Amino acid sequence: MVNVTVDGKALAVAEGSTILQAAAQAGIAIPTLCYFADLNDIGACRVCVVEVRGEERLAAACNTAVREGMEVVTESEAIAEARATALRLLLSQHDLNCAYCHRNGTCKLQGLLLEYGVAERDGWGNVVETGQPRFAKQLLRGRRAKWPADAIVQRDTNKCVKCGRCIAACDKLENIGVWSFVGTGAFSNVGVADGLSMREAGCVACGQCITHCPTGALTERDDVELLKAAITDPHITTVVQIAPATRTSWGVGLGADDGALDVEVMVAALKQLGVDYVFDTSFAADLTIMEEGTELLHGLGAGEPDENGITWPLFTSCCPAWVRRAKDRHPDALAHLSSAKSPMMMLGAVIKTWFARKQNLDPAKIYSVALMPCTAKKHEVKLPMESNPGIPDMDGSLTTRELVRWVRSSGIDVGALEPQPLDNPLGAYTGAGVIFGTTGGVMEAALRTAYFVATGQLPPPDGFEFAASPHGGWVEATFTMGESSVCCAVAHGLSNAEALLDAVRAGKAEYDFVEVMACPNGCAGGGGQPIDGTESERGLERGQTLRKLDKTKLPLRYSHENPQVQALYSEYFGEPCSELAHHLLHTVHVAD
């Protein structure tokens, strides 16, 4: 322990702690911009500077370690002036067009500008710089400021504050390294590494760079207008499906707490916006378990070493960012991904086949959209999956943020809405389907049903516990199912997934079934989730909301008990992995 004083408060903090951490321990808040806990602490923005007694220069609190006897002052006239100057320098390269920015109200820079009097709101609510600008504007114009309009991840260079958080997220969480500092001196900026396109650099559209950006420099492509156009077309039937993780967070941008607005309120909002049918992707998650669980049981004990002597596990395939990474970098593992489509794509196929026939609808005149916590789903909906020749299974995917912006711009008061039920016959779901939205949920849901199929008995739904792997940053466990045992692993974040692949290749680890999610804590921490200004990962908290729904609010907790899934097999597919099920619910993963 190290004894320090922060604003007159004597503290004993762990050796190696930063000034920022010591101040937090004392309940003292120091403003930050480029800092993100456990991810980025480069001290580039100079917003967190403080005084250290005996030192001439101000120190960055985020990356300056405490030492014995250190005395720190976090607020003074000199500190306030230094922070304001740093903000004015950032503002000289920022367009401050807040009224038209997606991050208006959740922008970290905007909040600091207002707090330190560098900017203010005018009579119309716009944010404008106070006084005479001290530094000349250096905005990029013309060709250098342009970005492909069809790219899933959109970038506005004139909103970038060069904090490096996108670089850290892509590198440390996903081990890809799409973003990099480019140029030198006054001309330095953040851009795609090596002058490549994002796709050439290996981008999987996970969106973690967006959720970690403190400003509006990075956003997702907004596709709401496409759904609006379909709604206004009298010849088109619009269908929207709601992903499990979306329900935990959509209310954040509407003034509610995480998990406070039930899915039935979301249904009411969508119906008021003009959507014809609203289904739940959790239903399709239950359907996915029937297919993937059967695939797992059929393959147990049948795996043989490849030409390199590696015995590969079955990998989950519901995360499009992970699938895309496997296609790009791991061709040896690609053949071992589950052939089951993701729940979103399964439901898309069912909507344009079985549901269309039951409702006497023309599949070509159904516009099917998913509300997802994910940006990579925008890529997945464009993959060549057609249950009807020439008709895509899905037509679009919107992030949770896009839904929130749409609801707000439409003037809907969600607090005054009367909740409405999901439409049938694709609206029923179980707790197993809901936990698909959090890391480990796909694995646990599959094991619940696989255990029942293998033994004829229901396992305790919460009886599948995992422990940290000794080989790296993932968890693992072995479960007995009748006469068989299943060795499983769960990894979230592609950096952890790639470490797991390396361990399998090296013979250090061997599994039967592996779940991979690209985003921290799975879909609950997805790249399309709302950004509320907190400087920490929210996926764990939102995932716990899904697990609470599974444990306390849903009467059915096993996918095979879903009555509508049972009816779908009875009326249409026959049994899991039947010929028709393979045709509509499975795919072949090949490199793009």
Q: Which of 205-214, 341-350, 477-486, 526-535 has the lowest mean pLDDT?
A: 526-535
- Structure confidence at residue 305 as a pLDDT band (50, 70, 90): confident
Q: Which of 94-108, 314-328, 504-518 has the lowest mean pLDDT?
A: 94-108
Q: Residue 116's closest CA among 212, 46, 22?
A: 46
DSSP 354: I
- Structure confidence at residue 302 as a pLDDT band (50, 70, 90): low
CA distances from 555 to 430, 432, 445, 549 (A): 8, 11, 15, 10
pLDDT of residue 188: 81
Say how far apart CA 515 and CA 517 lie, in whole Å. 7
Three-state SS annotation for 508-568 = CCCCCEEEEECCCCHHHHCCCCCCCCCCCCCHHHHHHHHHHHHHHHCCCCCHHHCHHHHHH
pLDDT of residue 142: 59
Amino acid at 214: P
Q: What is the pLDDT of residues 520-543, one digit of tens each?
A: 999 999 999 999 776 778 888 999
pLDDT of residue 536: 73
pLDDT of residue 131: 82
DSSP β-ladder status, 179-182 and 189-192: antiparallel
* Mean per-residue pLDDT of the chain: 93
Q: Residue 387's closest CA among 590, 591, 589, 586?
A: 586
pLDDT of residue 126: 86
Residue 343 in contact with residue 287, Cβ under 8 Å? Answer: yes
- Structure confidence at residue 146 as a pLDDT band (50, 70, 90): confident
Q: What is the pLDDT of residues 408-444, one digit of tens each?
A: 999 999 999 999 999 999 999 999 999 999 999 999 9
For residue 136, pLDDT beyond 90: no
Angle at 165 between CA 162 and CA 169, to 5 degrees: 145
Q: What is the pLDDT of residues 2-52, one digit of tens each?
A: 999 999 999 999 999 999 999 999 999 999 999 999 999 998 899 999 999
pLDDT of residue 141: 66
Quickly list H helices, 152-195: 165-168
- In three-state secondary structure terms, 570 is helix
Residue with tokens 């899933």: 152
Burial of 467 from C-beta contacts in 10 A (0-12 / 13-18 / 19+): exposed
pLDDT of residue 297: 86
pLDDT of residue 63: 94
Amino acid at 26: A
Q: What is the pLDDT of residues 188-233, one digit of tens each?
A: 889 999 989 999 999 999 999 999 999 999 999 999 999 999 999 9
pLDDT of residue 438: 96
Say how far apart CA 24 and CA 535 lie, in whole Å. 13
Token output for 235:
């010849």
pLDDT of residue 470: 94
Three-state SS annotation for 473-519 = CCEEEEEEECCEEEEEEEEECHHHHHHHHHHHHCCCCCCCEEEEECC
pLDDT of residue 124: 79
For residue 125, pLDDT beyond 80: no
pLDDT of residue 218: 96
| β partners of residue 192 | 179
DSSP 203: -
Say how far apart CA 167 and CA 163 lie, in whole Å. 9
Over range 505-516, report the average pLDDT.
Answer: 95
Token output for 325:
């990474």
Token output for 389:
């020749």
Q: Residue 531's closest CA among 417, 379, 378, 375?
A: 375
pLDDT of residue 277: 98
- In three-state secondary structure terms, 445 is helix
Q: What is the pLDDT of residues 555-578, one digit of tens each?
A: 999 999 999 999 999 999 999 999
